[in-house]
Chains A and B, each alone.
Chain A
Amino acid sequence: AQSVTQLDSHVSVSEGTPVLLRCNYSSSYSPSLFWYVQHPNKGLQLLLKYTSAATLVKGINGFEAEFKKSETSFHLTKPSAHMSDAAEYFCVVSDRRDYKLSFGAGTTVTVRA
């Protein structure tokens, strides 16, 4: 079984400053890990994915995440926040054997002007 813990329910940053969203996962198998973003009243958009290739993964809109197996973490970062980054972010794990995604509770990002 797999599970995800997002360590912050809400993160507030100033525009132009770095963003860090923390995620720890648990999986009994070699996992695939994802970050999705959801803007208000929208579906989920895939930001980036880790699938056992490079541990530092680059995604869309300047986001990147680092897979650390020893720490079972997959934190999401962006060097400089933009107003359009205000949204809810989900860390997601899949162990590929049971054909389902397990979502974290989400982190709401607020960007201050």
Chain B
Amino acid sequence: KAGVTQTPRYLIKTRGQQVTLSCSPISGHRSVSWYQQTPGQGLQFLFEYFSETQRNKGNFPGRFSGRQFSNSRSEMNVSTLELGDSALYLCASSSDSSMGYTFGSGTRLTVV
């Protein structure tokens, strides 16, 4: 059974640019969440989607957005990148949130 796949694994972008990260959940999982991990702030919730609907959003500026497609794949977009957006971005999928989420290996974004 394939796990959660995130692409790309590494990205280097320049301040002011925008970036799109992709996540393919485990087959059959309809819930997809995104988290940002930084040494200073730890793991913070970005947003969660279920059947193409955003059910919750964390405390991030509007530059951070996401969407989910009918096949449950999800993308997140960050516009007007800032140095502070450098982080590991983790995607997680679940069939039932009470049973836990399976995480991907993450996308390491570096903004220079």
CB–CB A99/B43 < 8 A: no
CB–CB B48/A51 < 8 A: no
Q: How long is the Cα–Cα vector from A103 to B37 in the complex, in angstroms? A: 10
Q: How long is the Cα–Cα vector from A99 to B48 in the complex, in angstroms? A: 7
CB–CB B103/A100 < 8 A: no
Q: How long is the Cα–Cα vector from A13 to B101 in the complex, in angstroms? A: 29
A101 at the interface (CB under 8 A from B): yes
B103: which A residues are within 8 A, CB to CB? Answer: 36, 43-45
Contact of B90 among A44, A49, A105, A106 (CB under 8 A): A44
Contact of B42 among A42, A44, A96, A106 (CB under 8 A): A106
Q: How large is the interface on B (under 10, 10 to 19, 20 to 34, 35 or more residues)?
A: 20 to 34
Q: How long is the Cα–Cα vector from A90 to B58 in the complex, in angstroms? A: 19
- Shortest Cβ gap from B59 to chain A (Å): 11
- Shortest Cβ gap from A41 to chain B (Å): 8
Q: How large is the interface on A (under 10, 10 to 19, 20 to 34, 35 or more residues)?
A: 20 to 34
- Shortest Cβ gap from B110 to chain A (Å): 14
Q: How long is the Cα–Cα vector from A63 to B97 in the complex, in angstroms? A: 22
A105: which B residues are within 8 A, CB to CB? Answer: 42
Q: A94-B98, A102-B45 are in contact. Are A42 and B33 (CB under 8 A)?
A: no
Q: How long is the Cα–Cα vector from A32 to B33 in the complex, in angstroms? A: 17
A106: which B residues are within 8 A, CB to CB? Answer: 42
- B residues with a Cβ closer than 8 A to A are 4, 31, 33, 35, 42-45, 48, 50, 55-56, 58, 90, 92, 97-106
- A residues with a Cβ closer than 8 A to B are 32, 34, 36, 42-46, 49, 51, 90, 94, 96, 98-106
A–B Cβ pairs within 8 angstroms, 8 of them = A46-B102, A99-B50, A99-B97, A101-B35, A101-B45, A101-B92, A102-B45, A103-B35
